[in-house]
Amino acid sequence: MFRLSRIFKPPRQIRTLTMAWYCSGSTNTELVENLFKVDLIKNERVKEAMLGVDRAHYAPSRPYSDSPQPIGHGATISAPHMHGHACEYLIEHLQPGAHVLDIGSGSGYLTHVLANLVTGPPGSSEQGKVIGIDHISELVELARSNMNKSKQGRELQDSGHVKFITADGRLGWKEDAPYDAIHVGAAAETLHPVLIEQLRAPGRLFIPVESDASPGVSGGQYIWVVDKRADGSVHKEKVFQVSYVPLTNAPRS
């Protein structure tokens, strides 16, 4: 791997656009180690959680490339560095035992990584729970079967620590709220207040949101990080520009 990063370290947003060609690997371990070496993943817990999920179970065409891949139904599995960033922004709230909502779960890859982060050691009572929501039932089925490809993924589903649900993620999922962390994997038109309501205090929401566009000009999408602090106060921060598929109405079948 060519280590341009030793000489020149562009800002993270630019790096995310330019690193794909040398952050890829020929195995899952190589991919994750390479992302770590160039600082696209910085957190050891995130690295371990990603090492524990083989992307070949979720992105069969080019599993170890640091780029988004089509998964059918107009959806894509996000690039691995984006999954890493999402986990790192949420990491303080991804402790063993935490409840997490993954909206726009698509392939199910990130849902599995999030489950690894909130699962305590065997025998501990802190086993956590992750709900993956997608509005396309075929993708929900795909996520379930992808996760069933590994013994550990099957156990997480069989024990109810991971659940995939077909629903409109813009409404969150009240049944298992409040959530320590909510991840949204598709760009919302607005910062849906119901998602903030479903956060625990403290809790954090990571969500791509479309910017207001002027006529004929797209405003672009930005990740917003929304913190509900222990006292219930809400703090919002716009952190970096991204390109996600939109959070939409379900297609008519």
User: What does DSSP assign to residue 16?
Assistant: H
Among 110, 140, 195, 207, binds ligand SAH (CB under 6 A): 110
Give me the helix-helix angle, 28-37 and 80-90, nearest 10°: 60
Question: From the candidates 65, 78, 105, 107, which is the catalytic residue?
Answer: 78
Number of residues that bind ligand SAH (CB under 6 A): 24
Residue 248 binds ligand SAH, judged by CB under 6 A: yes
Q: Which residues touch 233 (CB under 8 Å, ≥6 apart)?
A: none
Q: Could you tell me the CA-to-CA distances from 76 to 68, 159, 241 in Å, in that order?
A: 6, 28, 18
The least distance separating ligand SAH from the CB of residue 9, rounded to whole angstroms, comes to 26
Amino acid at 23: C
Among 16, 34, 107, 116, binds ligand SAH (CB under 6 A): 107
The least distance separating ligand SAH from the CB of residue 66, rounded to whole angstroms, comes to 13
Q: How many CB atoms lie within 10 A of CB 74?
A: 12
Q: Reply yes or no on whether 253 is catalytic.
A: no
Among 186, 195, 199, 226, binds ligand SAH (CB under 6 A): 186
Residue 179 binds ligand SAH, judged by CB under 6 A: no
* CB neighbour burial string for 12-46, b if at least 16 within 10 angstroms, e if fewer: eeebbeebeebbbbeebeebbbbbbebebbeeeeb
The least distance separating ligand SAH from the CB of residue 168, rounded to whole angstroms, comes to 5
Catalytic residue numbers read 78
Residues in contact with ligand SAH by CB under 6 A are 75-78, 103-107, 109-110, 133-136, 139, 168-170, 185-186, 245, 247-248
